Every structure is written in C-alpha cells, then in structure tokens.
Amino acid sequence: MNNINKPRFTSKDLSTRITKHIQELAQATDAARISEEMLHYLDMCARFHKYSPQNVWLIIMSKPNAFRVAGFHRWRSMGRYVKKGEKGIAILAPLMFRVDPDDPDNKNTELGGFKVVYVFDVSQTDGEPLPEPPEWKSPEKNAELNRKLTEFAISHNIVVLEKEQPGEVQGRSLKGAVEIDPSAGTKTLVHEIAHELLHNEGSPKLHVNIRELEAESVAYVVCKHFGMDGLASPNYIALHGATAELIIGHLTRIRTTATEIINAVVEKM
C-alpha cells in the first residue's frame, strides 16, 4: 500500500518537483509514440475505414457485436481472410464522378450516388492476429488517496459515483459528476476530477485530444507525487496523438491543477 503521508514541500519545491514529473512524462510519451509496438498498432488502425453515422447504424443492425470491420480485400492486405460461408455486412459507399470527364487531370469530383458494398467483422476472419493496443490502463488503487480525492471532489461540488462503464471505458466526466468503473485505479479518479476542473462549462473549447492530454498529465503528476507506480500515462497520451512538445506547451495548466489537487490532499491528511 502506498503511503500518501508525504512530507510537506514549500511552494517552490513543489512547483519544481511537479515540473520535473511533467518533463519526465513528456519524454516518456515521445518514446512511447515512436516505439515499435505503438507504430505497429497505429499503422494497423490507420488501415481501417472511418464510417459515416449511417453506415455505423447499418453495421449495428446487421451485426450488433461487430468490433472491427473491413472489406474483403482490406482484410487480405492485413494477412487475414474471410471465413468460407460468412455473409458480409452491407453498407453504402459513395460514387464520385469527375466534374469534367474529358479532362483526366481535373481532380474536382462530385457525389453521384451510392453503391452497396460489403464489409466483414474481425470475428468473421482468420489469419494473422491483430496487434493488441499498447497498455494504457493503470489499475493500481490507493484507498486512502481515493478517500481524500473524493473529499476534494465533493468540496468542489463534484459527485463521485462508482458505476460499471461500457467496453474499455474506465471513467467519465459529466460536468458536475464523475463515474468511475469498479475496475479502475486511482489514476482514473484523478483524471476525471482533472476534467471537471479544467474542462467545465466556462472553460476554453479544446480539442478532445488536448483535453485528454491535460487530464492524463495531471493524473500522472498527482499519482507520481504520492508514490504510485505502474502508470501507463505515456501510452495513453501517445494513443491520443500527443507529443512532448504539446505536453510542455500546456505545462502551466497541468502544473496549476496538479498543485491544487496535491495541496488539498495534503491539507486533508
């Protein structure tokens, strides 16, 4: 069990310590981003099409448990083959036509309609295994720290609920409340509280990847400060496309929020 009864730091010492943790996280994120495991996984993800909402509904209606779908030839390019007798899932593919068909160099196109094409879920295929996503969860729990964090959240009018989440989701920020999956670790609780502090109704509108970068960086710093190990934050941030440069670019917001949480936990000891 980690002990959160860390010695007090002066404001300057705490700021220096937090900045050091953020810099370490930035370096580790860049290392994760260019690792062979991450590049292989991201390359495979890039080969899958992004489907329109209409096609997503068609897929769900045909095969509610579909996990990852691709066309017959796309699967072959990834070393997998559609099993004999499997029925494809019908979706709509756009038909694009050149505006001036007599000009082969004219790249201007317009939508001329749709055609039915078929895709297959990974469960309908055999062959080379797909790469597993790099580990991004941090399941370690510190009961004492969780209690202090919950008290901190309540003092900021944030309700903390333990509730099973769908799929691989570990937690959610709901603007005034956070939901934490029973399997989630302490880092997830900090992450969702950080969302509530940084990304509430009056906050600047940020891209989802930046919001995740900030919340996860705060969670990493707080948990690192209180001696928690096994933090997979570099992978989590890299999976959201962030870089060391982006992390350092948000250093002030990350450090300020982490400092607020750390000081509040120390005061409640």
pLDDT per residue over 186-240, tens digit each? 999 999 999 999 998 788 889 999 999 999 999 999 999 999 989 999 999 999 9
The residue that leads in pLDDT, 22 or 204, is 22
pTM above 0.85, yes or no: no
Distance CA 107, CA 119 (A): 28
Q: What are phi and psi of 109, to 5 degrees?
A: -125, 160
Split at pLDDT 50, 70, 90, the class of 173 is very high
How much is the mean pLDDT over the chain?
A: 89
121 pLDDT above the threshold of 90: yes
- The confidence score (pLDDT) of residue 183 equals 95
Helix (H) or strand (E) holding 193: helix 186-198
pLDDT in tens, 76-118: 998 999 999 999 999 998 887 776 666 666 667 777 788 899 9
Helix (H) or strand (E) holding 24: helix 11-33
* Contact between 164 and 170 (Cβ < 8 Å): no
The residue that leads in pLDDT, 87 or 43, is 87
Instruction: Give strand pairing partners of 180.
Output: 162, 171
pLDDT in tens, 233-263: 999 999 999 999 999 999 999 999 999 999 9
Distance CA 264, CA 262 (A): 5
Instruction: Give strand pairing partners of 261.
Output: none
Q: Residues 157-169: what's their mean pLDDT?
A: 93
Distance CA 134, CA 132 (A): 6
Q: Residues 11-24: what's their mean pLDDT?
A: 93
Q: Residues 53-63: what's their mean pLDDT?
A: 83
Split at pLDDT 50, 70, 90, the class of 52 is confident
Taking 3-state DSSP, the helix, strand and coil percentages for the chain, each rounded to the nearest 5, stand at 45, 15, 35
Q: Which residue type sits at 261?
A: I
- The confidence score (pLDDT) of residue 137 equals 93
Highest mean pLDDT among 2-11, 55-64, 164-173: 164-173
14 pLDDT above the threshold of 80: yes
Nearest to 220 by CA among 244, 191, 248, 243: 191
* Contact between 39 and 131 (Cβ < 8 Å): no
Distance CA 158, CA 144 (A): 19
For the chain, the maximum distance between any two Cα atoms, rounded to a whole number of angstroms, is: 77
* Contact between 200 and 175 (Cβ < 8 Å): yes
SS3 203: coil
Distance CA 147, CA 130 (A): 39
202's tokens: 């009056």
> Which of 212-216's residues contact partners 24+ apart within 8 Å by CB, and which partners?
212/236, 212/237, 212/240, 212/242, 213/237, 213/240, 213/242, 213/246, 213/247, 213/250, 214/250, 214/253, 214/254, 214/257, 215/173, 215/191, 216/191
